[in-house]
Structure 1
Amino acid sequence: MGAGKLLKTRILAQMTEDRPDNRTQRLQALLWLGFAAACVWLLLALSPILTPFLLAAILAYIGNPATGWLARHRVPRPLAALLVILGLIGALTLLALTLVPLLQKEVGLIAERLPATLTLLQTKLDPWLQKRLGIDLPLDPASFNALVRKNQDAAQQILGHVLTTLGSSGLALVAFVANLLLLPVVMFYLLKDWDSLLHRIEDLIPRRFHNLALRLAREVDAVLAEFLRGQLAVMLLLALYYSLGLWLAGLEFALPVGLLTGLLIFIPYVGFATGLLLALVAALLQFQGLGLVLAVAIVYGGGQILESVVLTPWLVGERIGLHPVAVIFALMAFGQLFGFFGILIALPASAALLVGLRELQRHYKASPFYLNS
């Protein structure tokens, strides 16, 4: 009897020694929650000035492989970072020099052909609408010109108000220019010190979570890298497809419309809808009948099938598991919560969440609850 009581006492003592202090654990959890809440509040409060830094960090992340490749080939790291930034600026400048004149030409031709378009709509569309739907649209050029003259004074007043507002918002314009100039500077220092910054962050990770944190960070990096590389390939291939397809269809503005559609494909469905609308307007203004409009619709229908069935699943989807619907939801949700700053962090946050869910799934499938059920 005494031996049993002694054994029970020893077991209870051992359990007491092995059990962590619950109050200490709760205090640590509260401290971590408070720290996380403070970080979120700080991010929200500083989001207007953090945007250029975050955008520079994203661009530095994208440009780091090229910088590392140059550094491994005996190019000094600062010079490699500078070359990558100059290459990015050069590519954007070349794109702007290619697209802007073409778009200006398209806008000029639209303005030039607008009266003839109104006449065509008056002779073809207006009678059909009156006969079928009983709708009478004032599409004749005289009515249109009268409407323009009637609202010309109001338009001038609105323009004057806009110019006055811009003049009074000079500080905002200065801030925008400053952020634009700050972007390559921050990107340069991030690219130059990328490896040392990562080592410093790694050194701050608690030793108990060091291996797990590194493994999760590598998985997040792999997801982001695969997604960005896949999306870039999809954008370039679709830009080539739409430009070539619209050119073969006979569209005058095939190159700018095709390039713009391909580059905007990164925004799901928005790029397709924008490009289709521009292409249809351009086709209508060429006055080649419904054949050109039908050809444009076929090109865009084929492009949508090519993207959804072949390119995105092959280059992006199955390799990372980040569904396009998840991308749309993340962009909308983070944009609604944090504005443009939220759009910038939507993709990294989604990748981290995906990796976290995969880790939870691994733990769940290895748990006794799952295995014994």
Structure 2
Amino acid sequence: MRRQGWILAVLAAIGLWFFISIEPVLMPFFVSMVLAYLGDPLADRLEELGLSRRLSVSVVFLLLSLVIVLTLVLVIPMLGRQLGQLIELLPAALDWGQTSLVPRIRALTGIDLGTDFDQMRQALLDNWRETGTFAASLLAQVSRSGLALAAWVGNLALIPVVTFYLLLDWDILVAKVRASLPRHWEPAAVHLARECDEVLAAFLRGQLIVMLCLGIIYAVGLTLLGVKFGLLIGLLSGLASIVPYLGVIVGIGIAGLVAFFQFGDPLMLLAVGGVFGFGQLVESTVLQPKLLGDKIGLHPVAVIFAVLAGGQLFGFTGVLLALPVAAVVMVVLRYLHAHYKNSTLYDAGRQPQDEESP
């Protein structure tokens, strides 16, 4: 038994080393796995209605493709325009801070931030110019390098192909993995797999829908108020809401500054707060209970740590996988903790005291 454990540990280490070694080519496959996982329940539902598996997968694939294409066609250009406007307004915003904000702070507190603000302003402008120069040189380098451009396009082209075939054979792959498990491990493995599926479904389907709904509420509300970059700020706040309360903090901070700089009216700050307060009300009373419940249970600190650790270890692919992997690890740890509480190791320290007690 101990020998088998060592063999499994060595195989796991070799597998981890292998995946780290080929990390640059894994991203399209991981994206395809996520899309196939999200689309499989709908394909199963269509099969129950009488459609063949191939036809069901084709319908789901077309729906996923339509959503992605509409997002690229409608949302990305608007975000690009607003981002360009934000870049153009950065020097004006810094000048406003130097001429208006710094004197007000000096008058209220007596603290002179003029020199520090000048240094910060110059550093921001210099880094902004360097970022633009770096981006331009990077794009030029990619354009000159036909091999790098071909590899990038090839990775994008792989995603729909791999997604289609994974969707087509998803149930077969799951059945083969289950049949390959050692017989005495199968009950525990199936139990853990079902719990992981519940958590992942709550996260991938529930949390992503919550983020999307919050982003739409914030973007529409800020746009109706006339706040510049409302779409950009709203969607960024929705993405940041993957960490509880971070989206609200980021959104109110940025939108409040933009609204105050744009209108100069303190009442607009209350209006911005009302937009985010309405979003939080909808999230707490409708979205969270209906879509998530208490299935995920990841602490905000654990969420932050998982994202940072995933990015440090595996780059962008690690960021994409950080929270799903953390959710699975949480399920496994709960399972191990339950077994530990029922083990003799946990009860050994209490038995002598129990025997001495009258």
TM-score range, shorter chain: 0.7 to 0.9
Matched with 1:350 is 326
Give the drift of 1:106.
3.3
Distance 1:276 1:90, change over 3 A: farther
Matched with 1:75 is 51
Task: Say whether residues 1:292 and 2:304 are aligned partners.
Answer: no
Matched with 1:189 is 165
Q: SS at 1:258's partner residue? A: helix
Distance 1:121 1:219, change over 3 A: closer
Give the drift of 1:191.
0.4
Identity %: 42
Q: SS at 1:359's partner residue? A: helix
Distance 1:123 1:78, change over 3 A: same
Task: Say whether residues 1:89 and 2:90 are aligned partners.
Answer: no
Select 1:231's aligned residue among 207, 215, 220: 207
Task: Say whether residues 1:326 and 2:302 are aligned partners.
Answer: yes
Task: Say whether residues 1:133 and 2:111 are aligned partners.
Answer: yes
Q: SS at 1:208's partner residue? A: coil
CA RMSD between the two structures: 3.9
1:102-160 CA-to-partner distances (Å, cap 9, x unmatched) read 33453565577678767755653354366543444799xxxx9xxx9x99x99997677
Equivalent residues of 2:215, 2:235 under 8 A apart:
yes
Equivalent residues of 2:79, 2:231 under 8 A apart:
no
Matched with 1:242 is 218
Equivalent residues of 1:242, 1:303 under 8 A apart:
yes
Matched with 1:6 is none
Give the drift of 1:40.
1.0
Uncovered stretches (5+) of structure 1, i.e. residues with no partner: 1-24
Q: How does 1:201-212 map to 2 (within 5 A)?
A: 201-212=177-188
More displaced, 216-225 or 94-103?
94-103
Distance 1:277 1:328, change over 3 A: same
Matched with 1:338 is 314
1:284-334 CA-to-partner distances (Å, cap 9, x unmatched) read 453343332443245446656775798557753623433333222222222
Amino acid at match of 1:360: L
CA distance in 1, matches of 2:3, 2:341: 30
Distance 1:103 1:194, change over 3 A: closer
Task: Say whether residues 1:316 and 2:292 are aligned partners.
Answer: yes
Matched with 2:141 is 165
CA distance in 1, matches of 2:322, 2:99: 50
More displaced, 162-171 or 304-313?
304-313
Uncovered stretches (5+) of structure 2, i.e. residues with no partner: none
1:239-289 CA-to-partner distances (Å, cap 9, x unmatched) read 343235435544355445324422442355664455445524542453343
Equivalent residues of 2:36, 2:163 under 8 A apart:
yes
Amino acid at match of 1:318: D
1:47-89 CA-to-partner distances (Å, cap 9, x unmatched) read 1112211221111111111111122222222232232222122
Matched with 1:55 is 31
CA distance in 1, matches of 2:69, 2:285: 33
Q: Which structure has the bigger radius of gyration? A: 1
CA distance in 2, matches of 1:327, 1:157: 34
User: How many pairs does the alignment contain?
Assistant: 343
Equivalent residues of 2:20, 2:314 under 8 A apart:
yes
Amino acid at match of 2:104: W
TM-score, normalisation: structure 1: 0.75
Amino acid at match of 1:52: P
CA distance in 1, matches of 2:149, 2:243: 27
TM-score, normalisation: structure 2: 0.78
